[in-house]
Chains A and B, each alone.
Chain A
């Protein structure tokens, strides 16, 4: 035998081409249509906010890992990039950059690295950043530039309320749905993205294109997004049928308030969602129900961020409860 010795390792000796980096970059690709719509609607502001979030998330991950944790730096794995993009997509376009930086620090520093980094975090980092900003800066976080024209500077920006914001306000003032609906964008506008809201929740169409891409590439399965949206539709549908003057239609609920963004991109985060399909369905029903409860009776017009974070906390429990059926066992999954 000549040259180097042979490598002796245990089987298997072949490996699939998929790596976690490739999964992460597929998510980034899936977000491109959404980003393009946001550029069209909000112009340069969407770009600035997204760039600020991405740069600060990656920078904080680098600085914390390098100087505080003194561990290996993992900014190349794409996860900080995704956290940055998703954080920005959950913010209004005109928000001051220093707030984005604080949100990024909370997302990466608190929600991700203090739990042990990628794979160990319980809560979706981008959503923790978003919710932190929402409760800390409620005014700035609900100042929605409208999509009437392409605003290039913040000064000119016209602000308006989101669809669900208008409904919540109207209902509180005793207006009926038919009175409120005069002010609402049409369902088609919401579908294509001509509405008020955060950077990434504009166009249901663009979100669906990205979401379907992720399902086709098998990065996510259909179970979570479909179940979340169906649950929201059924639950709001029941109340709408009971009293259409008091409750908005399920179509409005599904197309607004970041429901599609949350269902396809936030709730499906691999780390913070259950492992088995059964578990995913339970997790998603929980998200749908909590979202609707917050929207109809809570203090916030939108609720999916809170719903996802609450259900994130249940994931370890769901994982130990909904196990795959063992081959050759007569009884269904053992409950421990």
Chain B
């Protein structure tokens, strides 16, 4: 029996078009747009100015506090502008525009570092390195990684979970990374185990990535402490709380963190970035992005410099197909629809999904027929139809009592609703008002 979380979840068509496509390097972008807020928390502070020449990997914006992260120049070149640009979330954000110096050799080097297994740094040094080199959660949440690794006094930690679930349809960035850089990921896990003083780690991988499961199993036959767990394919298993429940049968308390049940969760992409930072002194300058869609000529996986405009990625797969009506940053379940293709790739961009006309628009909403599907699929045990109703009618206090804030916005309710009701839209709206009201009264 494959492990999974017991309550709720859905299984949309997987559409992993790119799972057998090796990761290619995207041609060097001419210009990069590097937002100073690519992570959850305080934006970084810009420390360069117009016309400054920057080297690859140089810090261009400094961490603005504890929950913040450094931003590095992904390319060598010249700062041309400090501008505002619409990011993947649709907000205007400050960003640093760098024109790439095509002649600078450091931009063209494709360094293949030999695998370094020995871990020489002490836990404190590892934390410092992760913090200095701008590592944030690459699964999409972009939470600064060093914060997660600082375990408060009194908290007991006994297990590190590595998230290789990639439950979003279409996306294959983590899958390809696991296949192509499995050794590095295993060293990364050892680094984290060393930094966190734990002797147990589990890599959770959904069963639609058999090759990755088998590969890791083979590589860890003689290693102690690292387990590989095959999981039943079910969305949203990549959600931290669902993954911890699936692997360890521990339930993260309401409003709590995995640490409350002795667990820290990191995404495989983050682990790879940590390996690069700790073993090879490489800041986070690039990431794997899946560019996909049913109508694309060549859906692909790419190594992409942070700040590369999405139009560069689309060009590399043969351009925008006819009848394209939606471009999504991320997966189809939780990704953000983009207004145009000028938006840059940031640390949290796991994929670009191109959707054509026939799938782009929603069905017209109809009356709720109380079928209870949304209640059945909600992984948090909520009643989406009720929460939508309460949000719509402005009954925020009641919505708060019905635990609206524990919604993880996975979208399973909107996905299944046979009446096409915009459940999650209203729940998001209700959540934002409830949060405002609660901060006001606090």
Interface string of A278-293 (1 = CB under 8 A from B): 0000000000000000
- Asked if residues A325 and B325 are in contact (CB atoms below 8 Å), the reply is no
The answer, among B254, B330, B336, for a CB contact under 8 Å with A329, is B254
- Asked if residues B370 and A275 are in contact (CB atoms below 8 Å), the reply is yes
Closest A residue to B373 by CB, please name it. A18
Residues of A within 8 A of B372 (CB): 270, 274-276
Q: Which of A1, A5, A327, A329 has the most CB of B within 10 A?
A: A327
A5 CB to nearest chain B CB (Å): 8
Interface string of A37-78 (1 = CB under 8 A from B): 000000000000000000000000000000000000010010
- Asked if residues B418 and A9 are in contact (CB atoms below 8 Å), the reply is no
Closest A residue to B338 by CB, please name it. A6
Residues of B within 8 A of A77 (CB): 366
C-alpha gap A6/B338 in the complex (Å):
7
Interface string of B329-358 (1 = CB under 8 A from A): 010111111111100000000000101000
Residues of B within 8 A of A16 (CB): 10, 12, 415-416, 418
A270 CB to nearest chain B CB (Å): 5
Q: Which of B334, B366, B420 has the most CB of A within 10 A?
A: B366
- Asked if residues A12 and B333 are in contact (CB atoms below 8 Å), the reply is yes
Q: Does B103 contact A (CB under 8 A)?
A: no
Given contacts A327-B251, A327-B254, A328-B254, are A6 and B406 in contact (CB under 8 A)?
Answer: no
The answer, among A15, A120, A324, for a CB contact under 8 Å with B415, is A15
C-alpha gap A326/B384 in the complex (Å):
12
Given contacts A12-B332, A12-B414, A327-B406, are A19 and B363 in contact (CB under 8 A)?
Answer: yes
Residues of A within 8 A of B414 (CB): 12, 15
Q: Does A166 contact B (CB under 8 A)?
A: no
Q: Does B183 contact A (CB under 8 A)?
A: no
Interface string of B311-336 (1 = CB under 8 A from A): 00000000000001111101011111
Residues of A within 8 A of B169 (CB): 14
Residues of B within 8 A of A329 (CB): 253-254, 381
Given contacts A12-B414, A326-B381, A328-B406, are A7 and B12 in contact (CB under 8 A)?
Answer: no
- Asked if residues A10 and B366 are in contact (CB atoms below 8 Å), the reply is no
Residues of B within 8 A of A8 (CB): 90, 326, 337-339
The answer, among B325, B326, B383, for a CB contact under 8 Å with A323, is B383
Residues of A within 8 A of B370 (CB): 119, 270-271, 273, 275
- Asked if residues B335 and A11 are in contact (CB atoms below 8 Å), the reply is yes
A27 CB to nearest chain B CB (Å): 12
The answer, among B90, B326, B362, B382, for a CB contact under 8 Å with A326, is B382
Q: Is the interface of A mostly helix, strand, loop or mixed?
A: loop
Q: Which of B361, B418, B424 has the most CB of A within 10 A?
A: B418
Residues of B within 8 A of A7 (CB): 325-326, 337, 360-361
The answer, among A12, A22, A23, A324, for a CB contact under 8 Å with B383, is A324
B335 CB to nearest chain A CB (Å): 6
Given contacts A20-B366, A326-B403, A327-B381, are A13 and B419 in contact (CB under 8 A)?
Answer: no
Closest A residue to B429 by CB, please name it. A10
- Asked if residues B382 and A324 are in contact (CB atoms below 8 Å), the reply is yes
Given contacts A6-B325, A14-B12, A14-B169, are A330 and B337 in contact (CB under 8 A)?
Answer: no
C-alpha gap A101/B241 in the complex (Å):
55
Residues of B within 8 A of A10 (CB): 337, 424-425, 428
Q: Does A172 contact B (CB under 8 A)?
A: no
Q: Which of A4, A270, A273 has the most CB of B within 10 A?
A: A270
Q: Does B385 contact A (CB under 8 A)?
A: yes
Q: Does B439 contact A (CB under 8 A)?
A: no
B319 CB to nearest chain A CB (Å): 11
Closest B residue to A280 by CB, please name it. B372
Which residues of A318-336 have CB atoms within 8 Å of chain B's CB atoms?
Answer: 323-330, 336
Q: Is the interface of B mostly helix, strand, loop or mixed?
A: loop
The range of chain B's interface size is 35 or more
- Asked if residues B420 and A13 are in contact (CB atoms below 8 Å), the reply is no
Residues of B within 8 A of A12 (CB): 332-334, 411, 414-415, 424
Closest B residue to A15 by CB, please name it. B415
A64 CB to nearest chain B CB (Å): 16
- Asked if residues B340 and A6 are in contact (CB atoms below 8 Å), the reply is yes
Q: Does B222 contact A (CB under 8 A)?
A: no
- Asked if residues B7 and A324 are in contact (CB atoms below 8 Å), the reply is yes
Residues of B within 8 A of A15 (CB): 362-363, 414-415, 420
Q: Does B369 contact A (CB under 8 A)?
A: yes
- Asked if residues B368 and A6 are in contact (CB atoms below 8 Å), the reply is no
A36 CB to nearest chain B CB (Å): 27
Residues of A within 8 A of B334 (CB): 11-12
Closest A residue to B355 by CB, please name it. A13
The answer, among B251, B327, B332, B419, for a CB contact under 8 Å with A328, is B251
Q: Does A117 contact B (CB under 8 A)?
A: yes
- Asked if residues B253 and A119 are in contact (CB atoms below 8 Å), the reply is no
- Asked if residues B360 and A20 are in contact (CB atoms below 8 Å), the reply is no
Closest B residue to A324 by CB, please name it. B381
- Asked if residues A119 and B420 are in contact (CB atoms below 8 Å), the reply is no
Q: Does B105 contact A (CB under 8 A)?
A: no
Residues of B within 8 A of A22 (CB): 418
Which residues of B367-419 have CB atoms within 8 Å of chain A's CB atoms?
Answer: 367-373, 375, 378-383, 385, 401, 403, 406, 409, 411, 414-416, 418-419
Q: Which of B336, B367, B373, B401 has the most CB of A within 10 A?
A: B367
Residues of A within 8 A of B359 (CB): 13-14
Interface string of B253-287 (1 = CB under 8 A from A): 11110000000000000000000000000000000
Q: Does B252 contact A (CB under 8 A)?
A: yes
Given contacts A20-B369, A119-B367, are A326 and B380 in contact (CB under 8 A)?
Answer: yes
Q: Does A28 contact B (CB under 8 A)?
A: no
Given contacts A16-B415, A326-B381, are A275 and B375 in contact (CB under 8 A)?
Answer: yes
Question: 6 tightest CB-CB pairs across the interface, nearest first?
Answer: A12-B411, A119-B367, A275-B372, A328-B254, A14-B332, A20-B418
Q: What are 30 A-B residue pairs whose CB atoms fall within 8 Å in the complex?
A: A6-B327, A6-B338, A7-B360, A8-B338, A8-B339, A9-B337, A9-B362, A11-B330, A11-B424, A12-B415, A13-B326, A13-B360, A14-B13, A14-B169, A15-B362, A15-B414, A15-B420, A16-B10, A19-B420, A20-B366, A271-B369, A275-B383, A327-B241, A327-B251, A327-B380, A328-B251, A328-B254, A328-B255, A328-B406, A336-B401
Binding site for B on A (CB under 8 A): 1, 4-16, 18-20, 22-23, 74, 77, 117-120, 270-271, 273-276, 323-330, 336
A15-B420, A20-B418 known; 8 other A-B pairs, CB under 8 Å? A7-B326, A14-B415, A16-B415, A119-B370, A323-B383, A326-B254, A326-B406, A328-B380
